[in-house]
């Protein structure tokens, strides 16, 4: 029997990672409802969970087994079945992976026959995900970004290399693809997602290499150069927002990253954070979102330059973000804003996060090895105040059942496994080779 939520909706979530589970938990905490997760594979974060209804899509059984969008085709095919299972309820769709969001909007008309959702338009998604167009839009709408130089190999190699001579900002610089589409499919020895160059000579040599492997591919021959923003993991900040149908930014939450994942498959994902408000960044984010005509969730990555103290925005994602649960743990459940907008059609009073909590999927003592003494004091204080939260550690999952015991065992083992991962991928000795000072965010939290 289904729980009575007071609102006629059934959450449908695309994915299988920690971010997917965090969304399900946020729905379950607020409405005691069992969200449906649609996925092509079942991974640890959602395995043996008692708070979700998992629907596995088998690409081989689709009407078109060769589909390039098997998850989306499976989602569409499931529509009538889910409507039958949840009569009279709107199927509220949410996704937390960029490619899934983009694919939903590419098939928007078909998906709307079964589901309701809130995502930016495909035009807005494509413009803001382009690392050449994004800095232009950001500057136009008041968002601070690093200086950006465009490289386009559709013209001559010599002309693009000449741009290196015009660079006046100090090196090192970062070179990365303007868009991931096209570039991801290419393979060659030495290829990377992001490149760092120490001087102009190294930059020119890299451009020659990139030209050789990409100039014949229109989808992969555009790159951007930006000065590297210095600072360890603690100089990174996350901002989460929700924009309703009336273009009102109804929710803003944020956190300082203390430590990121350093394993190759999850590099850069925050794994330890402390929530706190950043009023000036909120102003920048709101101006940008309203200026470009956003709807739905948005997640911004900022980094404060350790030399200048200036916070720069690197990108905006058309989703809530893998670590969305830091908002829920700080008392501001993002799903409430989503439901009020899309299901209830209400214009709610805007809220801004104002509580400080500690969010992490790692053992406490592991994180303490990668922060300075002042940050360690903050973490220990929040633990004493019982303001520490792990999205996977959900007591509602436990119980004297085989499923509940399996779930608890997974969570405990997954957490302890991080000791091994960090020893292999980011040993403390490597951390201490660079700046070990943690960012003091006091100035950023002031009005």
Does residue 344 share a domain with residue 248? Answer: yes
Provide the whole-model pTM.
Answer: 0.92
List the CATH number of the domain containing 174. 3.30.1490.20
Does residue 371 share a domain with residue 252? Answer: yes
Say if residue 6's pLDDT is above 70: no
Domains in the chain: how many in total?
A: 3
Does residue 420 share a domain with residue 321? Answer: yes
Report pLDDT digits (tens) over 414-433.
Answer: 999 999 999 999 999 999 99
Question: Which two tokens mark 438?
Answer: 């943690």
Q: Is the residue at 321 inside a domain?
A: yes
Q: Is the residue at 158 inside a domain?
A: yes
Q: Which domain holds residue 47?
A: 9-117
Q: Is the residue at 261 inside a domain?
A: yes
Does residue 239 share a domain with residue 298? Answer: yes
Q: Is the residue at 287 inside a domain?
A: yes
Does residue 353 share a domain with residue 299? Answer: yes
Q: Is the residue at 142 inside a domain?
A: no
List the CATH number of the domain containing 408. 3.30.470.20
Does residue 357 share a domain with residue 418? Answer: yes
Contact 223, 213 (CB under 8 A): no
**Distances 23 to 13, 17, 333 between C-alpha atoms, Å:** 8, 10, 10
Q: Is the residue at 264 inside a domain?
A: yes
Q: For residue 446, how many other CB atoms are within 10 A of its CB?
A: 10
Q: What pLDDT does 400 receive?
A: 84
Report pLDDT digits (tens) over 13-45.
Answer: 999 999 999 999 999 999 999 999 999 999 999
Q: For 385, which DSSP code?
A: T
Say if residue 3's pLDDT is above 50: no
Question: Which two tokens mark 252?
Answer: 């803003």
Q: Of 211, 245, 282, which Cα lies nearest the Cα of 446?
A: 282
Q: What pLDDT does 155 receive?
A: 85
Phi and psi dihedrals of 215, rounded to 5? -65, -20
Say if residue 359's pLDDT is above 90: yes
């Amino acid at each position: 029997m289904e729980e009575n939520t007071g609102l006629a909706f059934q959450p449908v979530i695309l994915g299988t990672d920690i971010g997917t589970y965090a969304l399900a938990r946020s729905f379950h905490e607020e409405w005691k409802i069992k969200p449906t997760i649609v996925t092509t594979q079942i991974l640890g974060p959602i395995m043996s969970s008692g708070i979700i209804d998992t629907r596995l899509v088998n690409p081989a059984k689709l009407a078109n087994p060769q589909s390039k969008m098997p998850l989306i085709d499976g989602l569409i095919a499931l529509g009538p079945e889910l409507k039958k299972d949840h009569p009279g309820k709107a199927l509220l769709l949410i996704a937390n992976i960029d490619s899934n969001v983009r694919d939903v909007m590419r098939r928007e008309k078909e998906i709307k026959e079964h589901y309701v959702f809130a995502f930016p338009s495909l035009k807005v998604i494509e413009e803001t995900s382009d690392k050449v167009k994004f800095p232009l839009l950001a500057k136009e709408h008041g968002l601070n970004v690093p200086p950006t130089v465009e490289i386009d190999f559709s013209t001559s190699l010599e002309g693009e290399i000449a741009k290196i001579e015009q660079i006046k900002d100090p090196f090192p610089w970062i070179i990365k693809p303007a868009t991931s589409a096209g570039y991801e499919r290419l393979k060659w020895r030495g290829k990377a997602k992001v490149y760092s160059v120490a001087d102009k000579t190294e930059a020119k040599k890299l451009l020659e290499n990139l030209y050789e492997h990409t100039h014949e591919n229109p989808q992969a021959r555009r790159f951007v150069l930006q000065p590297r923003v210095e600072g360890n993991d603690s100089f990174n900040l996350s901002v989460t927002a929700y924009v309703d149908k009336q273009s009102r930014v109804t929710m803003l939450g944020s956190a300082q990253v203390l430590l990121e994942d350093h394993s190759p498959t999850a590099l850069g994902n925050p794994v330890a954070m402390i929530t706190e408000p950043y009023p000036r960044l909120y102003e920048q984010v709101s101006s940008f979102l309203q200026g470009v005509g956003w709807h739905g969730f948005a997640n911004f990555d900022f980094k404060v330059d350790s030399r200048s103290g200036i916070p720069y925005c690197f990108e905006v994602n058309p989703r809530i973000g893998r670590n969305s649960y830091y908002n829920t743990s700080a008392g501001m459940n993002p799903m409430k804003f989503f439901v009020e907008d899309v299901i209830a059609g209400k214009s709610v009073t805007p809220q801004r996060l104002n509580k400080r909590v500690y969010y992490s999927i790692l053992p406490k003592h592991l994180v303490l090895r990668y922060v300075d003494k002042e940050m360690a004091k903050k973490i220990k204080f929040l633990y004493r105040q019982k303001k520490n939260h792990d999205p996977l550690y959900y007591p509602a999952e436990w119980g004297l059942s085989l499923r509940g015991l399996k779930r608890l065992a997974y969570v405990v083992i997954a957490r302890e496994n991080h000791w091994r991962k960090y020893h292999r991928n980011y040993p403390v000795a490597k951390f201490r080779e660079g700046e070990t000072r943690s960012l003091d965010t006091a100035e950023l939290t002031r009005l």
